Homo-oligomer: A and B are copies of this chain.
Amino acid sequence: MAPIDPTSSTDFSPATQSGWRRRWFLIIFHHSPGAPRHFDLLLIFAILVSVMIVLLDSVAAIHARWFMWLLAVEWIFTVFFTIEYVVRLCVVKRPWHYATSSWGVIDLLSILPTYISLMLPGGQALMVVRILRILRVFRVLKLTQYLAEGNLLVTAMMRSRRKIFLFISALMTIVVIFAAIMYLIEGPAHGFTSIPTSMYWAIVTMATVGYGDISPQTSLGRIVTSILILIGYSIIAVPTGIYTAELADTLRGSSPDAIRDKRDCPACGLEGHDPQANFCRHCAHALASSTS
């Protein structure tokens, strides 16, 4: 299973170059204006409503009163998503490639829980499975790919991921050292029951969340906490600095991307062509010449 890349769903090819399968491929897998975009909006609406139902179902008062209605609506959506999944498998060129891609796995995980809950007798295990349906919310992310801004943000994030990882490593070193110190100073009597618990406290403190469920009570502990907070306050700037600098760079170099995204194929409506391309990489129809 490849890692999720929100910019890559147009990697799939249609099973045939004509007929209903090609038409439905464009509707389901593309995001160009017209029918494909209407389908996208319908899908996003269905996903959001079905996630909303999982949320409402978890509220005891609502579950007690509206249980049957929620179940009915849930089955309608599951049938709809099942048909969508089957159609996707039918119209794509290599169904297995789609089914094992990260998006295919999420699509399957979105419908399986409702069927499994038919077979499993109730209880906690059932609830876990029912909650799994919430994974559908991930599919909304897929829709963000046709916005140039989304690509920009993801590009800048990808370019800064090694720096952010390094930063998190340095952060964890500070967290472990301060957790050990506070465990020695405050001890189990003041809530610092073990070093892992202390680490939870140190993360909550450095990230400036500060629940207050565990807090220092001795003078020395408060001094050490103040030092930890000042360190956290000084380095909270680092991830922001990393990302801002990368994003400024990406924004500056983003003009060609903007051009690329504006040209749609006049025949099949595919977008995202290379600035130098003269023909659609999908149907080979001539493209408008790029005006840059």
Q: Assess the A234–B164 pair: CB atoms within 8 A.
A: yes
Q: Assess the A213–B215 pair: CB atoms within 8 A.
A: yes
Q: Assess the A153–B168 pair: CB atoms within 8 A.
A: no
Chain A interface SS verdict (over half) = helix
Given contacts A131-B184, A169-B140, contact A195 B55 (CB under 8 A): yes
Q: Assess the B177–A153 pair: CB atoms within 8 A.
A: no
Q: Assess the B144–A230 pair: CB atoms within 8 A.
A: no
Quick one: which of A140, A242, A248 has the most chain B CB within 10 A? A242
- Please count how many residues in chain A sit with their CB below 8 Å of the partner chain's CB atoms: 85
A135: which B residues are within 8 A, CB to CB? 177
A289: which B residues are within 8 A, CB to CB? none
Kindly state whether residue A244 has any CB partner on chain B within 8 Å. Answer: yes
Per-residue CB contact flags for chain A residues 140-152 toward chain B (1 = under 8 Å, else 0) read: 1100100101101
A138: which B residues are within 8 A, CB to CB? 173, 177
A213: which B residues are within 8 A, CB to CB? 212, 215, 217
Among listed A32-40, A81-89, A203-211, interface-contacting one? A203-211
Kindly state whether residue A29 has any CB partner on chain B within 8 Å. Answer: no
Kindly state whether residue A167 has any CB partner on chain B within 8 Å. Answer: yes
Tell me the smallest distance from the CB of A73 to a CB of chain B, in Å: 17
Tell me, in angstroms, the Cα distance from A51 to B236 when the chains sit together. 25
Kindly state whether residue A239 has any CB partner on chain B within 8 Å. Answer: yes
Given contacts A149-B166, A208-B209, contact A248 B247 (CB under 8 A): no
Kindly state whether residue A194 has any CB partner on chain B within 8 Å. Answer: yes
**Residues on A facing B (Cβ under 8 Å):** 51, 54-56, 58-60, 127-128, 131, 134-135, 137-138, 140-141, 144, 147, 149-150, 152-153, 156-157, 162-164, 166-173, 176-177, 180, 183-184, 188, 193-197, 199-200, 203-205, 207-213, 215, 217, 219, 222-223, 225-226, 229-230, 232-234, 236-249, 251
**Extra A-B contacts (8), CB below 8 Å, given A135-B177, A141-B173, A242-B247:** A58-B183, A128-B184, A134-B176, A147-B162, A207-B208, A211-B215, A237-B239, A241-B247
Interface pairs (10), CB distance under 8 Å: A131-B184, A137-B176, A140-B169, A147-B166, A196-B219, A200-B222, A211-B215, A240-B240, A240-B244, A241-B243
